[in-house]
Structure 1
């Protein structure tokens, strides 16, 4: 058989396989494989370190050590109920198999039994892991690093559809978990509060006020019929960051002009203050030369959290990229370690990494290969006001003066030396005039 006929025969066979495959659709797809150009900026920020969830990283030998742990958690979870059998869970997932497969951006080359085994194991592991956070003693002998697991559970490529967790949870706990019958929404919120809320609201006093009823009212999206609108755990992290009153956003043609860095804004006379009373991390307030910013905590995994939330926004919410806008804002604010130093001194940044240049490097990388557009109107207005303040003649000359004379020690010494020389010259001139009159 000729090479051309073999190629055509192979293509025909592949097309026949697709006849029996379930393609993702724009309406159903919510879990995406990231493009290479985005991964290459920071591969580690998108790759699980401890545990694989879902099909994209399933079978990775580097993560095999957690497979036994997941089986143990599955066993423990199934032991919780007496009136349900293993087959009941398999039946629920098999009825949802097509819907689950369509949530992924790629066709999953796994047969039905293998696929159901993976989904059931991963889902029960996640639920049982969440229930640990309702116990006073959440330590578990089979878990080496819960912090690494927390990080892996929010990665965009490492997700299960949230409706899978809800279906299995509701099948197990018909009236909710324990007393007073906690729903899966509360169990998930409690986990996120414990694992991630110090990232989102560093102020402990404000964080204590962020109760579940507050979260439901101001953050948790629902359809008019009350149906929960959470796609997966990466989406849940985004929901924790973004309030409902920031969604949705109307399309606009306005462009957000580049803003000056924190250092240049400071030189021009802008005063930075930390907003200790604002629980909404994304809300900045500007008035009469004072910019109030809610405190942000920068830690080792901050880049990972922001990158995955923004990557999800890029694909899922073309008209409502609130976290993308927020990331772009910090990309403008911080360009050098001097910018970090100013904002840290004012209390706006809580730098838990230690080195200012490391924080500056993170903000520089965040905007690479990210689509910017349809910016938040509040940020557009904010940037315009700040730019107008800095571009006014009085403040522009003030900034130039500070940059030229106060930016480095030798310039400071030169400026002070010039003042001293002028002062001595003035004294000499006055002495000469007095001597002249005395003569």
Structure 2
């Protein structure tokens, strides 16, 4: 009997919690559970290794050692503007309590936590992230514990889709701490950008000269989306990573129903006479250009973090964006373009790939499974046209020989001159032969 009462009491408690929130809707959600079919391809790519952020992995005993560090960071953050006093603590709690329903609705599941426990978690995790960013960009090694300064798992954990807080929570707490913008004029977007610049930009833009052009001003102008009122529009840190990848002018502009025939592998395109070059003038990874037998591709760095970054961004796009799946477009391209050790070898020789893993088969293994169980719609029209043109060269023997001919004899002025000279000599030889034959018959 007591067991039945316990079960009924538990059910009632859950219903009371649900009554405090609203059912998640597509309009409100931005933080999702990764579906099983994606997770089974690479479980580790979606699972936090060191720190839990938000409710989905909260209470995981494997991550419990970080909870004390979070409290120290919360304490340090509260002291930034008020010395040893914690008067602002109540202000933070008040702000979060007023937004509790809005925050809960950002998650794709009903969060079975009471109000106080939920607010405590959000406050602790949000202040940990902000303080961690501030210490990181100020390189304050004296304040940052060695375990946090050198451990790479934290930075990967902060971009996992399941391990997120709504970005407006970070912005509101940051602005409450610096109400007059007195943090050296730094906004939460600037602080987050600086952290991403230090932690991830070498992966996004491997070319050092191009990376120096990826300033905060460039990021704001070419990457950062805004709401109609001018407010920067960032869902969370996983979305911030996506924003760093995707330029505003690379978002699909209109829906199309064209069927995509995936691009052939680098090896097959190479055998068809197509050359590969690094697009040394293009910052964005997504920009592919083909002209006169040469496919220009921005340099790609493949490291131990690559699969985790791309998988979580793709999972977020799959849930959040109906028509603007720019990163999924690029990931599907990589999946079909790089499928074997030979593909990697060819691209390494042409400096398109920077292999930081070591073995070529390891790189191919990562890229060829990136798009598994990933749904895509409204494929980029530029990619569709490009893939069609490249594939036609491989499919048509005549076109293939034309491309090889254009590469060998029509790609540079001296080759053009050499080819025309050879044609002229052949013409003269033909005339001489005809004259000799004519003279012979006359005699």
Decide whether aligned partners of structure 1 residues 235 and 269 sit closer, same or farther in structure 2, where only a CA change above 3 A counts: same
Mapped partners of 2:217, 2:315: distance in 1: 28
- Residue 97 of structure 1 pairs with residue 103 of structure 2: no
After superposition, the C-alpha distances for 1:321-346 in whole angstroms (9 at most, x for unaligned) are 00000000011111111101101110
CA contact (8 A) 1:74 1:124 kept: yes
CA distance in 2 between partners of 1:109 and 1:10 (Å): 11
2:176 equivalent among 161, 171, 174: 171
Unaligned runs of 5+ in 1: 2-6, 400-439
Is residue 2:331 matched to residue 1:337? no
Deviation of 1:174 after TM superposition, in Å, equals 1.4
Query: Does residue 322 of the first structure (1) align with residue 320 of the second (2)?
Result: no
- TM-aligned CA deviation for residue 300 of structure 1: 0.2
Q: CA RMSD in A?
A: 2.3
Alignment counterpart, residue 357 of structure 2, candidates 349, 353, 360: 353
Q: 1:129 aligns with which of 126, 129, 132?
A: 132
Determine if contact 2:226/2:233 at 8 Å carries over to the other structure. Answer: yes
Matched, 1:262 2:298: no
* CA apart distance, 1:286: 0.2
Residue 59 of structure 1 pairs with residue 59 of structure 2: yes
Structure 2 residue ranges without an equivalent (≥5): 2-6, 404-443
Taking structure 1 as reference, are residues 138 and 323 closer, same or farther at Cα in structure 2, changes over 3 Å only?
farther
CA deviations on 1:264-307 (whole Å, 9 max, x unpaired) are: 10011000001111111100110011000000100001000000
CA shift in 2, pair 1:41/1:390, >3 Å: same
| C-alpha distance in 2 between matches for 1:16 and 1:98 | 14
Partner Cα separation in structure 2 for residue 198 and residue 242 of structure 1? 15
Paired with 1:373 and 1:275, the residues of 2 have a C-alpha distance of 27
1:197 aligned to 2:201?
yes
Q: Which SS does the other structure have where 2:200 is aligned?
A: helix
Superposed structure 1 runs of 4+ greater than 6 Å apart: 7-17
Deviation track 1:89-145 (CA, whole Å, cap 9, x = no partner) reads 110100010000000000000001100110000000000011013314446225344
Measured against aligned partners, the alpha-carbon deviations of 1:163-196 in whole angstroms (never above 9, x if no partner) come to: 00000000001123532x1111111110110011
Equivalent pairs, count: 394
Aligned residue for 1:291, secondary structure, equals strand
Q: Could you say if the C-alpha distance between residues 11 and 112 of structure 1 is closer, same or farther in structure 2, counting changes exceeding 3 Å?
A: closer
Determine whether 1:153 maps to 2:158: yes
For residues 14 and 223 of structure 1, do their structure 2 counterparts lie closer, same or farther at Cα, with a shift above 3 Å needed?
Answer: closer
SS in 2 for 1:133: helix
- Displacement after TM superposition at 1:17 (Å): 6.3
1:273 is paired with a residue of what secondary structure? strand
Query: Residues 162 and 319 of structure 1: is their aligned pair in 2 closer, same or farther, counting only changes over 3 Å?
Result: same
8 Å contact from structure 1 (residues 274, 295) kept in 2: yes
Q: Secondary structure at the match of 2:147?
A: coil
SS at match of 1:350: strand
What secondary structure, in the 3-state scheme, does the structure 2 residue paired with 1:366 have? coil
Q: Which of residues 88, 91, 99 is equivalent to 1:88?
A: 91
TM-score w.r.t. length of structure 1: 0.85
* Cα distance in 1, alignment partners of residues 305 and 132 from structure 2: 20
